[in-house]
Amino acid sequence: MRTLSRRLTVLPGRAMVAAPDILVLAGTRPECIKLAPVIAGLERHRSLRVLTVNSGQHAEAVTRSFAEFSLASDIALPALPPLPHLGASCAHLQRELRAVIASVRPRLVLVQGDTLTTYAGARAAHEEGVCVAHLEAGLRTDSDSDPFPEEWFRRRIAQRADLHFAPTPLAVDHLLAEGVAGACIHHVGNTGIDTLRALMGELVASPREENLVLVTLHRRENCDGNAAVVCRALRSLVRVQPGLRLVFPVHPNPRIGQRIRRELGSDPAFALVLPLGYRDFIGLAARAALIVSDSGGIQEEAPHLGTPLLVPRRNTERPESLATGFTRLVDTEHDALLAAALATLRAPRAAAVPFDDDAPFGDGHAATRVIHVLERQLVQRAYA
């Protein structure tokens, strides 16, 4: 292992690329899933030199997630330490990422989504005078601060990005309405659909399990009292409809994990399991009769899996999923959740959404479009 500075470590077996064209930042599992097809494509690309950084936000999850796609980070930062509040975590991560950017001097920094790593990385690159490309740009809810911090991050990342890779026409419209120049916006589709399409081409189809419900909760707005409400509604669901089996991968954040275990740990209808790998999660979601989740990514995936999804949130930055009929927002309230779950389980099953030009989040070839834009921006500009 070769240490370049107090903060910057090259991982064993990974070769450093001097002055890379592109530095890719990843800090969470969802970022890895959506960055994977882009990184794989870039690593096959002879004209563009790329380095990938594990920011340390969720260090072990990033290592595991990349390994699922036969990828690995080139640079690993220390795990993000426990800090008293979000602002302190952001400031710490921004300093760490700025040190990396200053050390390797990329021509462009690629960030994904709306995480702490994305926001801190965009700020760090902007302060270093490095071009920022934002993957999954332009998602918006009807509130400028809800959900927090994701919506707050998204809008501020847009102010620092130079290239905006928008997944949907609506995302393009949001960016234009905020004053982003049209020449800087590229409608490419969502790279998460690339990952899903590739995996579904490999999975052996399994029959639907009509008694299986898949549940996840992790968002900040559902960490405390709302988590208890969801858990109690699910317990009521089992009492009203006996025989259901609920699989609940528990998020590693102890703030929500402890609450879930306290509410459901003694109920035999619930299998509280460790976070699943992407392949296992999608396989389970494809077999489930119902998904209950506050995740953003599953809103994109559920229509293609043909699995109905209830989202215990006030709003969503992915209204395209609602339009498919597979996804429904539900107030985080006991009776509303119970009624929605019962109605969904008893409703006839609709056909899954195909991967085609009319798919809400793209046809599964977004990464190719992203790489084409990056090549045009970096390679062609170098010889202009």
pLDDT in 10s for each residue of the chain, 384 residues: 233 443 455 554 444 556 799 999 999 999 999 999 999 999 988 789 999 999 999 999 999 999 999 999 999 999 999 898 999 999 999 999 999 999 999 999 999 999 999 999 999 999 999 999 999 999 999 998 889 999 999 999 999 999 999 999 999 999 999 999 999 999 999 999 999 999 999 988 888 999 999 999 987 776 767 899 999 999 999 999 999 999 999 987 777 888 889 999 889 999 999 999 999 999 999 999 999 999 999 999 999 999 999 999 999 999 999 999 999 999 999 999 999 999 999 999 899 999 999 999 999 999 999 999 999 999 766 544
DSSP state of 241: S
Range list for CATH 3.40.50.2000 in the chain: 2-190+364-382, 203-346
pLDDT at 7: 45
Residue type (1 letter), 158: A
Which contiguous run of DSSP H or E holds residue 165? strand 163-166
DSSP state of 40: H
* Nearest residue to 130 (alpha-carbon basis) of 156, 149, 108: 108
pLDDT at 301: 98
Is 231 in contact with 265 (CB distance < 8 Å)? no
* Nearest residue to 53 (alpha-carbon basis) of 72, 33, 70, 73: 73
DSSP state of 276: P
Task: Say what the pTM is.
Answer: 0.92
Superfamily of domain 2-190+364-382: Glycogen Phosphorylase B; (3.40.50.2000)
* CA 249 – CA 181 distance, rounded (Å): 41
Residues with catalytic roles = 218
Q: Domain 203-346 belongs to what topology? A: Rossmann fold (3.40.50)
